[in-house]
């Protein structure tokens, strides 16, 4: 894999305070990288730096194997890297002229500009808006225009800051699908600052988790979600259940871990006596009324429903199996089973669904 952009030992200060301290970050060509982390983690600052819009106080950055040092380097780099900000930042003119803005800064003929603008409008399904005044657009339409404006430039790298913030859910849903489609089709490398796990799962191929200006963990999306290497990452990627335990037995990749006096089975090779975290993603827990006669799930516990919280399309249940476990149950199966707070049920999960992390004392 080729790295289109690499960053090393990058430090950015604001008002004397270190807001960014990045050891190393590589952006691979034609892949979609998500920067995730809570607000104030430094995602936006990192994006601005990577876009050549912010001069770091220290550190090296290479764009396509060429060092980016001077302001001339940054300005050259900006011709092929484009940022899409959180707010649409449209000019008070027509949609067409907004999308044409960046093209006008490049010496293109009117015909070329027209073609690129039309293509970009088409990508985001907003060709019909071309003649509209940008001031009359809805939030979702504005966002599409601002994305089209960036994609019209056919940049090599596109950086997006919280692209879906402040959009209503249906608008967001369709925009995520469309964006993924456009990214797949154009093969443009993208870095997305996100803070929503679902968006991350749906868009990103790679994930870097940030906190307080530092990188916490980087890897493929599946790896980050299934094997967080710290409690912080686990929490952030939405592993709802994180249990503290100690390895009792370990044999050929299968471990028995004792948690609050109970025992669960999990995959892994930690030696007995090792203190660990066990992470179980809620969607991997099955809730049943009776103990199934045949199941491949190694872990089956009797549990009492402590609390039911209604989410968008499912119920989030906090179960007490002797240790707390969080499970998601669809609305229909919840109704079918007649579940309510205080009911007793069976919770089961596979050994492979348990992600075990080392726990330092």
Partner 1 sequence: MELIVQGIIKAFQLIFSFDPEVLGITWLSLKISGTATFISLFIGVSIGTLVALTNFPGKRIVISIINTGMGLPPVVVGLFVTIIIWRSGPLGFLEILYTPYAMIIAQAIIATPIVMGISLASIQNLPPNLRLQILSLGASRMQMVWVLIKESRLPLLAAVMAGFGGVISEVGASIMVGGNIKGYSRVLTTATVMETGKGNFDIAIALGIILLLLAFLVNLLLTQIQQRQHPR
Partner 2 sequence: MKMFRSSQWIVALIIVTALVVLGATGVFAAPKQRNIILATTTSTQDSGLLDKLIPIFEKETGYFVKTIAVGSGQAMKMGEKGEADVMLVHSPDAEKKFVEQGYGIKRRLVMHNDFIIVGPGADPAKIKGVKSSADALKKIASANALFMSRGDNSGTHAKEKTLWKKAGINPDGQKWFQETGLGMGQTLNVAAEKKGYTLTDRGTYLAIQKNLGMEILTEGDAALLNIYHVIEVNSAKWPKANAEGAKAFSDFMVSKSTQNIIKTFGVDQYGSPLFFPDAGKKVEDLGK
Chain residues binding partner 1 by CB under 8 A are: 48, 51, 53, 75, 78-79, 81-83, 85-87, 89, 91-92, 101-102, 105-106, 133, 135, 149-150, 153
The token pair at 33 is: 């990288």
Residue whose CB is less far from partner 2, 93 or 291: 93
Is residue 300 within 8 Å of 291, Cβ to Cβ?
Answer: yes
- Which CB, 91 or 331, lies closer to partner 2? 91
**Residue 105 or 222 with smaller CB distance to partner 1:** 105
Distances (CA, A) of 21 to 34, 186, 283: 18, 32, 35
- The binding track of 130-169 with respect to partner 2, each residue x by CB under 8 A or -, is -x-x------------------------------------
From the list partner 2, partner 1, none, which binds 326 (C-beta under 5 to 8 Å, kind-based)?
Answer: none
Q: Which does 97 bind (CB under 5 to 8 A by kind): partner 2, partner 1, none?
A: partner 2
Answer for the pair 34, 205: CB distance below 8 angstroms, yes or no.
no
Stretch that binds partner 2, among 42-50, 77-85, 91-99, 325-333 (CB under 8 A): 91-99
338 binds partner 2 (CB under 8 A): no
Residue of 93, 291, 306, 330 that binds partner 2 (CB under 8 A): 93
Residue-by-residue DSSP string for 68-130: --SHHHHHHHTTTEEEE-SS----SSBHHHHHHHHHHTS---HHHHHHHHHHHHHHTT-GGGT
What's the CA angle centered on 61, arms 8 and 36, to 5 degrees? Answer: 65
Say which entry of partner 1, partner 2, none residue 131 contacts (CB below 5 to 8 A, set by partner kind).
partner 2
As given in the structure block, the two tokens for residue 60 are: 């090296």
Minimum distance of partner 2 from residue 133's CB (angstroms) = 7
Contact 98, 50 (CB under 8 A): no
Choices 10-18, 90-98, 185-193, 301-309; region in contact with partner 2 by CB under 8 A: 90-98
- Closer residue to partner 1, CB minimum distance, 62 or 101: 101
CA distance 160 to 244: 37
Q: How far is the CB of 94 from partner 2 (least distance, A)?
A: 5
For residue 136, the minimal CB distance to partner 2 (Å) is: 11
Residue 264: count other Cβ atoms within 10 Å of its Cβ. Answer: 24
Give phi and psi for 323, each to the nearest 5: -135, 155
Q: Which two tokens stand for residue 345?
A: 């049920």
Is residue 139 within 8 A of residue 192, CB to CB? The reply is no
Residue 295, burial from CB neighbour count under 10 angstroms (0-12, 13-18, 19+): middle
Query: Residue 132 or 359: which CB sits closer to partner 1?
Result: 132
Adjacent-strand bridge partners of 249: 256
Torsion over CA: 184, 29, 171, 119 (sign): negative
Question: Site size for partner 2, by CB under 8 A?
Answer: 5
CB of 96 to partner 2, least distance (A): 9
Shortest separation between residue 335's beta carbon and partner 2, angstroms: 54
For residue 86, CA distances in Å to 143, 160, 170, 298 come to 9, 7, 18, 45
Residue 92 or 296: the one with the smaller Cβ distance to partner 1 is 92
Which residue's CB is nearer to partner 2, number 70 or number 136?
136
The site for partner 2 (CB under 8 A) is made up of 93-94, 97, 131, 133
């Amino acid at each position: 894999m080729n790295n289109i952009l690499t960053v090393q030992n990058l430090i950015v200060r604001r008002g004397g305070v270190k807001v960014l301290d990045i050891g190393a970050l590589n952006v691979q060509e034609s892949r979609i990288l998500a920067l995730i982390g809570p607000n104030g983690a430094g995602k936006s600052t990192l994006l601005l730096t990577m876009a050549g819009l912010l001069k770091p106080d220290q550190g090296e950055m290479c764009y396509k194997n060429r060092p980016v040092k001077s302001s001339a380097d940054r300005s050259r780099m900006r011709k092929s890297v484009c940022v899409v900000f959180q707010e649409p930042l449209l000019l008070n003119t027509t949609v067409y002229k907004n999308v044409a803005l960046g093209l006008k800064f490049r010496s293109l003929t009117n015909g070329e500009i027209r073609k690129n603008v039309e293509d970009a409008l088409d990508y985001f399904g907003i060709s019909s808006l071309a003649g509209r005044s940008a001031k009359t657009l809805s939030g979702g339409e504005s966002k599409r225009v601002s994305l089209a404006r960036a994609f019209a430039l056919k940049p090599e790298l596109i950086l997006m800051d919280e692209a879906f913030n402040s959009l209503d859910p249906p608008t967001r849903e369709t925009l995520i699908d469309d964006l993924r489609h456009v990214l797949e089709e154009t093969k443009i490398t993208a870095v997305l600052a996100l803070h929503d796990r679902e968006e991350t799962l749906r868009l990103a191929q790679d994930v870097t988790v940030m906190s307080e200006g530092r990188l916490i963990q980087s890897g493929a999306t599946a790896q980050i979600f299934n094997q967080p290497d710290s409690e912080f990452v686990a929490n952030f990627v939405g592993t709802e259940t994180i249990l503290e335990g100690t390895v009792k037995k370990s044999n050929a990749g299968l471990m028995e871990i004792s948690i609050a006096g109970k025992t669960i089975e999990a995959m892994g090779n930690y030696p007995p006596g090792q203190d660990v975290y066990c992470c179980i993603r809620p969607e991997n827990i099955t809730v049943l009324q009776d103990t199934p006669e045949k199941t491949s799930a190694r872990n089956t516990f009797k549990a009492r429903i402590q609390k039911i919280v209604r989410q968008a399309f499912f119920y989030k249940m906090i179960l007490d199996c002797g240790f707390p476990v969080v499970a998601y149950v669809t609305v229909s199966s919840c109704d079918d089973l007649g579940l309510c707070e205080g009911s007793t049920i069976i919770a089961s999960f596979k050994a492979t669904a348990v992600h075990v992390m080392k726990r330092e004392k």
